[in-house]
Amino acid sequence: MDDSRVSHGFYAGHSRFSDPGPHAGWLDATPADLAALREAASQLVFHYWGSGAITDHGFPAARNDEITLRYAADMWARLRELDPEPPGRPRPPLHRIVGCCRDFTLLFVSMARHHGVPARARVGFASYLVPGWYLDHVVAEVRTGDGWRLVEPQLSPGFRDPVDDVGFDLLDVPRDRFLTGPAAWTAARAGELDPARLVVSPDLDVPFLRGLPYAWHNLVLDLAALNKHEMLQWDIWGALDDTVTLAPATIARADELAELMTGADVGRLRAAFEAADVRVPPVIRTVTPPGRLPAEVVLR
């Protein structure tokens, strides 16, 4: 069967993470237009550190716990508690859930798949958030008639890249400005990109959260996302840990995965995800920021 048809069917269907569950009927009121969905998603989440402490913006400190929401059904439930109006209408900040880029993306993917649009999350690094750095980031990817396009669900319309003051289409993010997990790993290994520029945040002095160790982390999370396991950025399983110096065998494994993930069809991606070192198991560990101790999570 033509892979484009297989890909369309696979990514148009929900994962256990994107499924809106009892809120599917509520999402019927959302616009089917991709531009409108993207803009709707941009008003559903308040970034837990992007604008400073959430308490500076009127949020009770306890609402930081919303960053642990893992499933779209739970996120939609909380959003409905905060504001019963369906997505697509303006939402004041306090009516949004506290979260991060992964949450903007999962909610966009949830709405897109609800309307039958093939969509998936991509984990990697963006050059357009802080000049001089590639920041840990998650965006969406949608399949249209001419292939896959990167979609930025987090940013507001009219965004301009602070690196060169250039605007770009948030429905078609240039691939040199967002590097997917395999693209970032390959560029760093080839010497085309200084690995030290790959960070969670430039001022976060945690060795594991920068350079090749974090590129390896995002490579595995991207493979999971390509297999419709839209994990939290701070999840750990299989071959992932907080190692600062990667073993030669790990580097070789990352090289292998990065090559396979570049342009691979759905069948190959799903086969690669069956390996024990990358497959998401029923029980994982998660390290919720800021600096909480690792905790076990039993996935639904």
Q: Which residues of the chain have pLDDT under 50?
A: 1-2
Looking at residue 291, what is its pLDDT? 76
- CB-based contact 257:222 (threshold 8 Å): no
Q: Cα–Cα–Cα angle for 140, 142, 144, nearest 5°?
A: 160
Print the domain residue range for 190: 3-298
Give which of 184, 231, 264, 266 is closest to 8, Cα–Cα.
266
- CB-based contact 240:222 (threshold 8 Å): no
For residue 282, say if its preceding peptide bond is cis, omega within 30 degrees of 0: no
Count of domains for the chain: 1
Looking at residue 1, what is its pLDDT? 39
Looking at residue 293, what is its pLDDT? 85
What is the reported pTM?
0.97
Give which of 28, 27, 116, 120 is closest to 75, Cα–Cα.
27
Q: In Å, how far from its chain's centre is CA 209?
A: 16
Query: How many Cβ atoms from other residues are within 10 Å of residue 52's Cβ?
Result: 9
CB-based contacts of 28, cutoff 8 Å, min separation 6:
114
